[in-house]
Structure 1
Amino acid sequence: MSTAAPLPTRQPIYRRAVFTFSASHFLNDLMTTGLVPALVVMYKQAFHLNYTQSTLIVLVSYLTSSVAQPIFGALSDRKPRVWWLSVGLFFSCLGLALTGAVDSLGLLLVCVAVSGFGSGAFHPEASRGTHLAAGGKKGLAQSIFQVGGNAGQACGPMMIPLFLHRTGIHGLLWFLPVAVLSLGLTGQILGWINRRIVAERTARKVGQGENNIPGVILLVLLIIFRSWCQVGVVVFLPFYMHHLSLEASEWLNFVFVGAGALGTFLGGMWSDKLGLKRLLVGSMFAATPFAILFPFTHGGVLAVFDLLLFGFCVLSSFAVTVVYMQKLLPKNVAMASGLSIGFGVGAGGIGATLMGSISDAFGVPLVFTILSVLPLVCALIGLFLPSDRGPALSSPGDAGQLKTTS
Structure 2
Amino acid sequence: MPKHRTIILLSAGHACVDVYQGSVAALVPFFAAERAYGYAAVSGIVLAASLLSSVAQPLFGALTDRWAMPWLLPSSTILGGVGIGFGGFVDSYALTLIFVAVSGIGVAAYHPEAARAARSASGGGHTAMGWFSLGGNIGFAAAPVLVAAVMAIGGLRASPLLVVPALAGAVLCLPVLRALAKPSLAGGRDDSEPAGSDDWKSFGKLSLAVVFRSIVFIGLSTFVSLYAQERTGGGTTTGSAALLLLFLGGAAGTLLGSRLAERWGRVILVRWSYLGTVVAVAGVVFVPGPGFFLFVLLAAVGLYVPFSLQITLSQDYLPTRVGTASGVTLGLTVSIGGLASPVIGTIADHTSLQTALLPLIALPALCWITTRTLPEPGSVQTGTSHEETVSKLRR
TM-score for both structures, normalised by structure 2: 0.90
- Residue of structure 2 in register with 1:25 after alignment: 14
Q: Which moved more, 1:291-300 or 1:312-321?
A: 291-300
- Offset, 1:118: 0.7
- Count matched residues: 379
Instruction: Report the 3-state secondary structure (helix = DSSP H, G, I; strand = E; otherwise coil) of the residue aligned with 2:91.
Output: coil
Instruction: Report the 3-state secondary structure (helix = DSSP H, G, I; strand = E; otherwise coil) of the residue aligned with 2:243.
Output: helix
Say if 2:261 is the partner of 1:271.
Answer: yes
In structure 2, relative to structure 1, the CA distance for the partners of 1:135 and 1:93 (3 Å cut) is same
Say if 2:278 is the partner of 1:288.
Answer: yes
Instruction: Report the 3-state secondary structure (helix = DSSP H, G, I; strand = E; otherwise coil) of the residue aligned with 1:189.
Output: helix
Instruction: Report the 3-state secondary structure (helix = DSSP H, G, I; strand = E; otherwise coil) of the residue aligned with 2:25.
Output: helix
Higher helix proportion (structure 1 or 2): 2
- How many Å separate the matches in 1 of 2:305 and 2:4? 21
- Residue of structure 2 in register with 1:229 after alignment: 216
Q: Is the 8 A contact 1:327 1:393 kept in 2?
A: no
Map Cα deviations across residues 138-172 of structure 1 (whole Å, 9 max, x no partner): 21111101111111111212234433144201221
Instruction: Report the 3-state secondary structure (helix = DSSP H, G, I; strand = E; otherwise coil) of the residue aligned with 2:37.
Output: coil
- Offset, 1:280: 0.4
- Residue of structure 2 in register with 1:108 after alignment: 96
Q: Is the 8 A contact 2:64 2:188 kept in 1?
A: no
- How many Å separate the matches in 1 of 2:283 and 2:17? 32
- Residue of structure 2 in register with 1:129 after alignment: 117
RMSD: 2.2
Q: Is the 8 A contact 1:276 1:388 kept in 2?
A: no
Instruction: Report the 3-state secondary structure (helix = DSSP H, G, I; strand = E; otherwise coil) of the residue aligned with 2:89.
Output: coil
- How many Å separate the matches in 2 of 1:81 and 1:393? 31
- Residue of structure 2 in register with 1:366 after alignment: 355
| Counterpart selection for 2:346 from 347, 357, 361 | 357
- How many Å separate the matches in 1 of 2:19 and 2:166? 12
In structure 2, relative to structure 1, the CA distance for the partners of 1:270 and 1:335 (3 Å cut) is same
Map Cα deviations across residues 196-229 of structure 1 (whole Å, 9 max, x no partner): 3346747489x83211111122111111111111
Write the mapping of 1:6-155 to structure 2, written as runs, cut at 5 A: 14-31=3-20, 33-135=21-123, 138-155=125-142
Map Cα deviations across residues 153-196 of structure 1 (whole Å, 9 max, x no partner): 11212234433144201221113344333322102211211323
Q: Which amino acid aligns with 2:258?
A: G
Instruction: Report the 3-state secondary structure (helix = DSSP H, G, I; strand = E; otherwise coil) of the residue aligned with 2:181.
Output: helix
5+ unaligned residues in a row in structure 2: which ranges?
384-395
Q: Is the 8 A contact 2:202 2:317 kept in 1?
A: yes
- How many Å separate the matches in 1 of 2:164 and 2:23? 17
- Offset, 1:88: 0.8
Q: Which amino acid aligns with 2:66?
A: R
- Residue of structure 1 in register with 2:305 after alignment: 316
Q: Which has the larger Rg?
A: 1
In structure 2, relative to structure 1, the CA distance for the partners of 1:17 and 1:359 (3 Å cut) is same
- How many Å separate the matches in 2 of 1:345 and 1:165? 30
Q: Which amino acid aligns with 2:237?
A: E
- Residue of structure 2 in register with 1:335 after alignment: 324
- How many Å separate the matches in 1 of 2:271 and 2:301? 14
- Offset, 1:240: 2.2
Q: Which moved more, 1:112-121 or 1:250-259?
A: 250-259
- Offset, 1:244: 1.8
- How many Å separate the matches in 1 of 2:374 and 2:246? 27
In structure 2, relative to structure 1, the CA distance for the partners of 1:199 and 1:128 (3 Å cut) is closer
TM-score for both structures, normalised by structure 1: 0.88
- Residue of structure 2 in register with 1:326 after alignment: 315
Q: Is the 8 A contact 2:17 2:169 kept in 1?
A: no
Map Cα deviations across residues 8-58 of structure 1 (whole Å, 9 max, x no partner): xxxxx8210111111111111112x21101111212333332222211110
Write the mapping of 1:147-186 to structure 2, written as runs, cut at 5 A: 147-186=134-173
| Counterpart selection for 1:209 from 183, 188, 196 | 196
- How many Å separate the matches in 1 of 2:244 and 2:36? 26
Q: Which amino acid aligns with 2:303?
A: V
Instruction: Report the 3-state secondary structure (helix = DSSP H, G, I; strand = E; otherwise coil) of the residue aligned with 1:188.
Output: helix
5+ unaligned residues in a row in structure 1: which ranges?
1-12, 395-406
- Residue of structure 2 in register with 1:262 after alignment: 252
Q: Which moved more, 1:98-107 or 1:189-198?
A: 189-198
Q: Which amino acid aligns with 1:54?
A: V
Say if 2:239 is the partner of 1:249.
Answer: yes
- Offset, 1:75: 0.8
